[in-house]
Chain A
Amino acid sequence: MPEHKTLAATGNSVVAEAMRQCKPDVVAAYPITPQTTIVEEFAAFVAKGKTHCEYVTVESEHSAMSACIGASAAGARVMTATASQGLALMWEELYIASGMRLPIVMANANRALSAPINIHCDHSDIMGARDAGWVTLFAETAQEAYDNTIMSVRIAEHPDVLLPVMSCLDGFITTHSIDRVSVMDDESIAGFVGDYEPQNALLDTDNPVAHGNFSGLGGPYFEFKKQQREAIENSRAVIKSVGEEYSALSGRPFDVIETWGMEDAEVAVVVIGSTAGNARTVARHLRADGKKVGVVKVRVWRPFPYAEIAAALKGLKAVAVLDRSESFGAEGGPLFLEVRSALYDLAERVPVVNYIYGLGGSDVKLELIEQVFTDLADIAAGAAAPAGLVYLGAREEA
């Protein structure tokens, strides 16, 4: 049985701790707010000899992910972390990492993208990378950030998957808040993640292989993309089984979506990340007043849990999707598009409304969530849904 230790620690601090416990062979990273303290603390572990790891200091995120790709192709267990502009600078490498099927694990401290310059939380960075072929997990709390990091290694390295995994936590809200977190002993984590047995390692000189090959016009590029689709579809079952195994170890539940009050809810909010707690807090108050409200939190963003979302929201009178990022010119935010698509095949139509909230770290006050539930109650009672998406809490003309 694992030994559990309760800490008062920031999300970044426990991500660094989880990284140390997963024993990566190589970490190549470039510091960027609000990810900095992850790599700072991990670099300190390396400097103090608390983990045996090649820590590569690079001159940019572009180089960081390039170095990770090289190291991973060589056969190393590789981890890194980034945020915002750093993730944006990694763009082309993100696709190369997934296309080369390299099980790199990366923490992303969700932060807004410039311009204007802003260092605070929203999901614009990761949502821009949503099609890059990475399995993507979201944490609500520092605890989940710790847990997701450890599970990510197993998911990424599973032979049916072999894809990079991104483990997201909300910038400042989760990365820098001190929270109560339970961590496990090194041995239990080492036992859980196991040793990495790379396939097609460049450093396996007895079995020389070539990576990074060309597949041009008329070549099988198309077939390789189908392989990637199959791999991320395979990850659905792997995520569930790794999650079950980790739950048994940690004593904490895990599922691709987390539902609250959905057994008999008439209206619900769908949300990702730290705001889920705010939504549950408001929902709990409303429940105390006899309102049948629920909350659905998406913990696995890629592959998107279509079936689970449809099952959770089936038969509801109204659903609100909260997006902490824009998809300018689309009909709504990225989560909205997924949720509404997941509901399309249901026989009975579920009205879905979209709220954009919290961009650039704009504070998610409980009144804002209350407003969403009030709107939902109105729609459930027959009122017209708000036309188009709503910028929740944005100052508007009187």
Chain B
Amino acid sequence: MKWDISQMSEWTYKDFPPAAVIPEAGNSHYYITGGWRSERPVRSDEKCTQCLLCWIVCPDTSVMVADEKVVDFDLDHCKGCGICAQVCPVDAIDMVPEGCDLPGVK
């Protein structure tokens, strides 16, 4: 990480890069948006055919794939939009009401 923004809330005007430029590509990864979610996707491995449609449509690249197979959801960034559940041709994804006890999510 070239740019440590962990203390950003303490920064004065002298600490910010001028012009609101973000000097590092891809740093939105560090911005945890999972807390915006009211429903979370839950996938049934039995029903899933690994067609990867959910991976294609997810607007937050939160469908995690390994070896060309869906393995999990990135719940730090999934906003719970439910598009994955909508497009799933075999109804393998359910949207489940969110609890308040998610680890790592503010």
Contacts and interface: CB of A to CB of B under 8 A. Distances in A.
Contacts of B25: 208-210
B22 interface: yes
A292 B12 CA distance: 51
Interface centre among B11, B12, B23 (most CB of A within 10 A): B23
A122 B22 CA distance: 41
Nearest to B17: A200
B93 to A, nearest CB: 31
Interface centre among A100, A223, A226, A231 (most CB of B within 10 A): A223
A210 B16 CA distance: 14
A101 interface: yes
Contacts of B19: 99-102, 162, 200, 211, 224, 227
A162 B21 CA distance: 13
B27 to A, nearest CB: 9
B21 to A, nearest CB: 5
**By DSSP majority rule, is chain A's interface helix, strand, loop, or mixed?**
loop
Contacts of B14: 227
B20 A213 contact: yes
A224 B21 contact: no
A203 to B, nearest CB: 14
B18 interface: yes
Interface string A208-222: 111111010000100
A223 B14 CA distance: 8
Interface in B19-62: 19-25
Interface residues of A, number: 22
Contacts of A226: 13
Given A208-B25, A209-B25, A223 B18 contact: no
A208 B22 CA distance: 9
Contacts of A197: none
A227 B21 contact: no
A213 B13 contact: no
Nearest to B26: A208
Contacts of A378: none
B13 A200 contact: no
A162 B13 contact: no
Interface in A61-83: none
B12 A223 contact: yes
B18 A162 contact: yes
B49 to A, nearest CB: 37
Nearest to A159: B18
A99 B16 CA distance: 13
B13 A223 contact: yes
Interface in B57-76: none
A231 B18 CA distance: 10
A227 B11 CA distance: 13
Contacts of B16: 220, 223-224, 227
A278 B74 CA distance: 72
Contact of A224 (B13, B23, B24): B13
A213 B22 contact: yes
Contacts of A230: 13
Contact of B23 (A102, A209, A227): A209
A100 B24 CA distance: 17
Interface of A: 99-102, 162, 199-200, 207-213, 215, 220, 223-224, 226-227, 230-231
Given A220-B11, A220-B20, A226-B13, 14 more contacts: A99-B20, A101-B18, A162-B19, A207-B23, A208-B24, A208-B25, A209-B22, A209-B23, A210-B22, A211-B21, A215-B20, A220-B13, A224-B13, A227-B18
24 contacts: A99-B20, A100-B19, A101-B18, A162-B18, A199-B18, A200-B21, A208-B24, A208-B25, A209-B25, A210-B22, A211-B20, A211-B21, A213-B21, A220-B8, A220-B11, A220-B13, A223-B11, A223-B12, A223-B16, A224-B13, A224-B16, A224-B19, A227-B18, A231-B18
